[in-house]
């Protein structure tokens, strides 16, 4: 049997976002999520070496160079919330604690390498995107409201009703409907460098990348030009890959999902002890 040298690279932020769509996996349980990450990696390698997933004494790790998990350290700033009128300690939020515990769980896993960037504040508080369309509609009523405030006699009942409706959207904006924009720094760079390094040093012959980001196309091109098989796992429910960018599909050797059957994954990710 051919001895492959496989590396599985997982974009952690992308993986965790997609994981919310999979039934039966507790997204808030770090140990369960870490086990799901490892199970998915195992399934990819087993497919490549044509090993039955039910094999009791799997040899999948013998074919693994390294399993990489990329993410950003939690933001630990303490900004002042303009609506709650108090400081928010981001380092002690449930999401930050989850991320730190998940990192510890992954560090304990055999053949896993953790690559961490950082989060940087990228502006001041803004409404979540889901509120922006409604809030922007208020602008269409602003000229009318200014005119009526200056000249009440020009008020029009229909226009006033529409303006009040739009202002109601603003009044419904709650304390938890705004966010501090944070941007990952250094994560994409680490993924690209690892792909290039493993390729040029001939450390692997197959790379599986779990992401939906087309930013890695240049790195994929380098790998393929050097003879490395490059497989993309977009980690989506759509079996026809209809939501994958054409450019991504063009520059990889195959698109395969490690979680192709959510009902099965829900059981295995929780109950299987991955060797």
103-161 per-position pLDDT tens digit: 999 999 999 999 999 999 988 998 888 888 888 888 878 888 888 888 988 888 888 88
Architecture of domain 6-119+184-271: 3-Layer(aba) Sandwich (3.40)
What is residue 263's predicted lDDT score, i.e. its pLDDT?
47
What is residue 99's predicted lDDT score, i.e. its pLDDT?
96
Q: How far apart are CA 234 and CA 208, in angstroms?
A: 10
Q: Output the pTM of the full model.
A: 0.83
User: What are the pLDDT digits (tens) for 250-264?
Assistant: 788 888 888 755 444
What is residue 239's predicted lDDT score, i.e. its pLDDT?
52
Using the predicted structure, report yes or no on whether residue 185 has a pLDDT greater than 50.
Answer: yes
Enter the tokens of residue 257: 């999902």
Residue 244's pLDDT band (cuts 50, 70, 90):
low
Residue 271's pLDDT band (cuts 50, 70, 90):
very low
Q: How far apart are CA 191 and CA 164, in angstroms?
A: 50
What is the residue extent of each domain of the chain?
6-119+184-271, 126-176
Residue 80's pLDDT band (cuts 50, 70, 90):
very high
Average confidence (pLDDT) over 49-78:
93
Residue 67's pLDDT band (cuts 50, 70, 90):
very high
Whole-angstrom CA distances from 153 to 69, 119, 146, 147, 156 are: 65, 53, 13, 10, 9
Three-state SS for 5?
Answer: coil
Task: Out of 59-63, 97-101, 264-268, pick the least confident.
Answer: 264-268
User: What are the pLDDT digits (tens) for 193-241?
Assistant: 999 999 999 999 999 999 888 888 899 999 999 999 999 998 765 554 5
Q: Are 110 and 160 in contact (CB under 8 A)?
A: no
> How many C-beta neighbours within 10 Å does residue 33 have?
23
Mean predicted lDDT score pLDDT of the chain: 86
Radius of gyration of the CA atoms of the chain, in A: 24
Average confidence (pLDDT) over 71-86:
92
Over the range 98-115, which residues count as b (16 or more CB within 10 Å of their CB) and which as e?
Answer: bbeebbebbeebeebbbb
């Amino acid at each position: 049997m051919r001895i492959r040298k496989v590396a599985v690279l997982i974009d952690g932020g992308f993986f965790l976002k997609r994981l919310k769509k999979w039934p039966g996996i507790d997204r808030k349980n770090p140990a369960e999520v870490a086990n799901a990450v490892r199970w998915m990696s195992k399934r990819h390698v087993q497919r490549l070496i044509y090993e039955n997933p039910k094999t009791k004494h799997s040899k999948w790790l013998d074919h693994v160079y390294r399993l990489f998990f990329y993410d950003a350290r939690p933001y630990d700033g303490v900004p002042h919330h303009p609506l709650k009128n108090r400081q928010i300690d981001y380092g002690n939020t449930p999401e930050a604690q989850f991320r730190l515990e998940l990192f510890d769980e992954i560090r304990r896993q055999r053949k896993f390498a953790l690559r961490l960037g950082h989060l940087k504040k990228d502006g001041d508080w803004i409404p979540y995107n889901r509120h922006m369309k409604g809030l922007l509609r208020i602008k269409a009523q602003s000229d009318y409201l200014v005119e009526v405030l200056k000249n009440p006699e020009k008020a029009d009942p229909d226009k006033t009703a529409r303006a009040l409706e739009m202002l109601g959207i603003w009044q419904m904006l709650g304390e938890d409907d705004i966010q501090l924009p944070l941007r990952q720094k250094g994560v994409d760079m680490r993924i690209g460098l690892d792909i290039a390094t493993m390729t040029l040093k001939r450390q692997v012959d197959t790379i599986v990348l779990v992401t939906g980001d087309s930013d890695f196309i240049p790195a994929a091109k380098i790998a393929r030009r050097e003879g490395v098989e490059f497989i993309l796992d977009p980690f989506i429910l759509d079996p026809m890959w209809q939501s994958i960018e054409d450019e991504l599909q063009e520059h990889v050797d195959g698109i395969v999902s490690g979680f192709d059957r959510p009902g099965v994954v829900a059981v295995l990710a929780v109950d299987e002890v991955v060797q």
